[in-house]
Amino acid sequence: MTTPALNPFLSRRRALALGGLAGGVALTASACSSGSSGSGDPNTFEFWSFTGINQKADVESYKKLAPDVTVKLTEVGNAQETAQGLTTALAGGKVPDLVLIQAGDLPKFMKNPGNFTDLATLGADQVEDDYVDWVMAQATAKSGEIVGIPTDVGGMGVAYRTDLFAAAGLPTNRDEVSALWPTWEEFIATGQRYTQASGSAFIDNAATTVFLQAVSQGTEQYYSADGEVVYDTNPVVKDSFDLGLKAIAAGITAKLESFSDGWNAGMAKGTFAAVAAPSWMLGSIRSAAPETEGKWDIATIPGGSGNWGGSYLAIPARAGNPKAAWAYISKMQSPEQQLQHFIESGSLPTTPVNYDKPELVDHTDPFFGDAPTGKIFTQAVLGLKPFLNGEYNTEISTELLNALNGVEGDGAPAAAAWDTAVKGIKTAIGA
Amino acid sequence: MAATLTPGTLKGVKPATATRPVEKRWERLAPYGYVAPFYVLFLVFGLFPLLFTFYVALFDWNPIGDKTFVGLANFQQLAADPRFWNALKNTFSIWIISTAPQLLIALVLAQVLNSALLRFATFFRMAMLLPYITSVAATAIVFAQLFNRDFGLLNWVIGGLGFEHVDFMSTPVGSHLLVSTMVVWRWFGYNTLLYLAALQAVPRDLYEAAAMDGAGPVKQFFHITLPSLRPVIVFTVIMSTIGGLQIFTEPLLLSNGTLTCGTARQCQTLSLFLYEQGFGSFKFGYGSAIGVALFAIIVVVALVNFLLSSRLGKKG
């Protein structure tokens, strides 16, 4: 139940929501906060979420568990816009009682934990051990406050079209397909085989499906464990960037930015045959190309494990009704409910106690050729050594992705791409 | 000509609508009360934000964290920031290639709509406003689809003619043209109606007299029409300057909502850059500095435009 952590692309619908924002952020913020959460009604609270992840379903199921509580859900915009709206609200507007923040935006808020209710005071210290430790650690401030409770993690995989693979003479069985690409080099080589046989593109784009996945697999990304900016010295970043360039040079990409109109259309038309798919992406594929049901399957990601994305629920410090919001969090993010949510939506739980439950391990998804999604994504997360997300993760990532997209789509010279990105980052963050 | 009343003719005659001498204090103050709402609203929503922006620009200000006074450092940083100059260049480029055609088209169309030969004139005049009253978001969706690289109608034609598909948003020239086309589409009708209203206020006898004196249509246009339109041209030029330099929604929506508007910021305008810094990177101080710079640029350009356009049609 999240959107991409570092997503610089928006769907049309999200762009529309942003168009609303264009009218004035303050206006949006106040319009969104016109509810009565501050009025003191203990059974009503206001919840800001982002679009595209169907929080409505969660709110609906909460109605069954707590029928006397009214949840006023507002989908502010995409994840980035929701974070921006929250920023404006925290800076002086009317805040919601509960807000969903994606993992990539969290570090900016973690810098000033005073803006949020320390969930430990509401009982989070009792349940924090229920969650994956490194995911929980990202939402715990240096001074010990618990800012958020993790709703899901984005264990990685590769979704591929079995019909297109078969037509190109590639194996279709998910274990055989996984065996095709233990490494990213072999992934690109497979792509070349596919493109030669079929004459069409193998992946949607190199920036997200190759670079962003590869760079999310290291134990260190743009920041070192002690918070130093290391994107320009960390070999993982440069190597992943070069992999992206290599995929572009191999001519296997459809040059379609993730979540764009062309991407949605291309998904349905089979313009590309494979796409990086963390657990939450399955929902995007389902809604972009509903008519492709049953033609998909899911293989493991080259390089084994990794995480892309994830979200947290937090309560602003000035919330009018923090108790009702916490009641919602503790109920809906309990291990049992997270498992339930996985069965309904496919987002991977953050509660390890679920990771060997048969309901999760044996779960199969008919849309994706009955792939055992729970098992695949759990393995991706279990083998993970997490990296630190820093304050400017989004800015750094945006510049790197832009440089790659520039080479891929706009014909920028590949040899200068890395320098362009580094220069852009230095201007953006001053380091 | 009506007889002119001079003070002398009033002597000894009590005016029919004499005002009572103002005695009560509240009666003297009442007019101020009537106009007060505008000024109060202006103070709260106009002047205060403006001054506050100047103030914020002097700080390193995290909206949800600390603020530190840094003086003019934000402006120094701005002057050295290639992204700022890039955004400035884009803004001017888009503004020029949208404003000039838009006002020219409006001028020509207003002439056509004002022609006595035109049938169904009311229908055409009403139709002029259609693009203007359509929401920007809806217009952007249509334009994005028309100009889409893979599935757009325009590229379908281009492809049909045997040429390579054009990715308009990927190059500075292409994206500026696309954004400008959308701006022109949205605003030409609005300006046409303004010009039309001004044209209809020009006395017919001026043209008749000119025709009698042997002036052709071109001479009439330059010596009667243009001078009569001068006030409204000044108005539209100033308004287009303010609107054009603040352009935000069109590039944002056409680029799928990316605040950088393209991988190399090829269509990022000053407003987008401001928004990116202030609300994307949480740099309120820096964002405000961009806002102040934008304000100064608009004032200067509007002033220059005012001087230029008010000379229009004057004998130089």
Answer whether B8 touches A (CB < 8 Å): no
Residues in chain A closer than 8 A to B87 (CB atoms): none
Q: How confident is the model at residue A310 (pLDDT cuts 50, 70, 90)?
A: confident
Top residue of A112, A397, A419 to mutate, by most chain B CBs within 10 Å, is A112
The chain B residue lying nearest A316, using CA atoms, is: B64
Cα B71 to chain centroid distance, Å, stands at 32
Residues in chain B closer than 8 A to A80 (CB atoms): 280
Strands, E assignment, B42-185: 59-61, 67-69
Neighbours of B214 (CB within 10 A): 7
Residues in chain B closer than 8 A to A261 (CB atoms): 144-145, 148, 151, 256
How far off is chain B from A22, nearest CA to CA, in Å? 6
Helix (H) / strand (E) containing A73: strand A70-77
How far off is chain B from A40, nearest CA to CA, in Å? 25
Domain extent listing, chain A = 5-153+309-369, 155-307+386-429
User: How far, in Å, are A182, B55, B63, B300 from residue B52 at the CA level?
Assistant: 57, 5, 14, 21
Neighbours of A246 (CB within 10 A): 16
Q: Are B277 and B287 in contact (CB under 8 A)?
A: yes
A&B contacts, CB < 8 Å = 106
| The predicted structure's pLDDT at residue B22 | 56
| The predicted structure's pLDDT at residue B21 | 62
| The predicted structure's pLDDT at residue A36 | 39
Query: Which residue has better confidence, A127 or A32?
Result: A127
Query: How many whole angstroms separate alpha carbon A286 and alpha carbon A267?
Result: 10
Lowest mean pLDDT among A46-50, A212-216, B53-57, B260-264: B260-264
Question: What six digits make up the tokens of A380?
Answer: 């991706």
- pTM (two decimals): 0.80
The chain A residue lying nearest B171, using CA atoms, is: A410
Q: How confident is the model at residue A28 (pLDDT cuts 50, 70, 90)?
A: very low
Answer whether B299 touches A (CB < 8 Å): no
The answer to whether the Cβ–Cβ distance between A402 and B280 falls below 8 Å is no
Bridge partners, residue A159, by sequence: A275, A298
Neighbours of B3 (CB within 10 A): 6
**pLDDT score of A254 more than 90:** yes
**pLDDT score of A283 more than 70:** yes
Q: Is domain A5-153+309-369 classified as CATH 3.40.1350.10? A: no
Residues of chain B with pLDDT under 70: 1-23, 313-316
The chain B residue lying nearest A400, using CA atoms, is: B263
Mean pLDDT of A288-310: 89
Q: Are A201 and A185 in contact (CB under 8 A)?
A: no
**Please, is A172 exposed, middle or buried when counting C-beta atoms within 10 Å of its C-beta (0-12, 13-18, 19+)?**
middle
Residues in chain B closer than 8 A to A116 (CB atoms): none
Answer whether A25 touches B (CB < 8 Å): yes
The answer to whether the Cβ–Cβ distance between B262 and A411 falls below 8 Å is no
Top residue of A260, A394, A425 to mutate, by most chain B CBs within 10 Å, is A260
The answer to whether the Cβ–Cβ distance between A10 and B257 falls below 8 Å is yes
Buried b (16+ CB within 10 A) or exposed e, B35-69: eeeeeeeeeeeeeeeeeebeebbbbebbbbeeeee
CATH number, domain A155-307+386-429: 3.40.190.10
**pLDDT score of A22 more than 70:** no
Answer whether A240 touches B (CB < 8 Å): no
Q: What is the pLDDT of residues A61-73, one digit of tens each?
A: 999 999 999 999 9
Q: What is the pLDDT of residues A226-235, one digit of tens each?
A: 889 999 999 9
| The predicted structure's pLDDT at residue A15 | 39
Question: What six digits make up the tokens of B18?
Answer: 């004499």
Q: What is the pLDDT of residues A356-379, one digit of tens each?
A: 999 999 999 999 999 999 888 888
**pLDDT score of A173 more than 70:** yes
Q: How confident is the model at residue A47 (pLDDT cuts 50, 70, 90)?
A: very high
The answer to whether the Cβ–Cβ distance between A9 and B258 falls below 8 Å is yes
The chain A residue lying nearest B83, using CA atoms, is: A427
The answer to whether the Cβ–Cβ distance between B249 and A19 falls below 8 Å is yes
Same fold, A5-153+309-369 and A155-307+386-429: yes
Mean pLDDT of A309-314: 91
Residue of A80, A115, A427 lying closest to B64 (CB–CB): A115
Q: How confident is the model at residue A172 (pLDDT cuts 50, 70, 90)?
A: very high
CA atoms within 13 A on the CB side of B63: 26
Mean pLDDT of A75-92: 87
Interface of A with B in 380-419 (CB under 8 A): 392, 394-395, 398, 402-403, 405-406, 409-412
| The predicted structure's pLDDT at residue A401 | 94
Q: How confident is the model at residue A99 (pLDDT cuts 50, 70, 90)?
A: very high
**Please, is B202 exposed, middle or buried when counting C-beta atoms within 10 Å of its C-beta (0-12, 13-18, 19+)?**
middle
Return the closest-CA partner of residue B267 out of B119, B124, B140.
Answer: B140
Q: What is the pLDDT of residues A337-346, one digit of tens each?
A: 999 988 887 7
| The predicted structure's pLDDT at residue B236 | 92
Interface of A with B in 251-270 (CB under 8 A): 256-257, 260-262, 265-266
The answer to whether the Cβ–Cβ distance between B167 and A257 falls below 8 Å is no
| The predicted structure's pLDDT at residue A84 | 86
Residues in chain B closer than 8 A to A265 (CB atoms): 150-151
Average pLDDT, chain A: 86
Neighbours of A181 (CB within 10 A): 21
Residues in chain B closer than 8 A to A14 (CB atoms): 257
Answer whether B137 touches A (CB < 8 Å): yes
Angle between helices A235-249 and A417-429 (to 10 degrees): 130
**pLDDT score of A30 more than 70:** no
The chain B residue lying nearest A22, using CA atoms, is: B249
Query: Which residue has better confidence, A169 or A258?
Result: A169
Query: How many whole angstroms separate alpha carbon A403 and alpha carbon A302?
Result: 23
| The predicted structure's pLDDT at residue A127 | 93
The chain B residue lying nearest A14, using CA atoms, is: B257
Residue of B148, B252, B266 lying closest to A22 (CB–CB): B252
Q: Are B266 and B241 in contact (CB under 8 A)?
A: no
Answer whether B248 touches A (CB < 8 Å): yes
Q: Which of A182-186, A220-224, B161-165 has the highest mean pLDDT?
A: A182-186
Answer whether A16 touches B (CB < 8 Å): yes
Query: How many whole angstroms separate alpha carbon A149 and alpha carbon A268?
Result: 35
Residue of B63, B260, B263 lying closest to A409 (CB–CB): B263
Neighbours of A174 (CB within 10 A): 22
How far off is chain B from A19, nearest CA to CA, in Å? 6
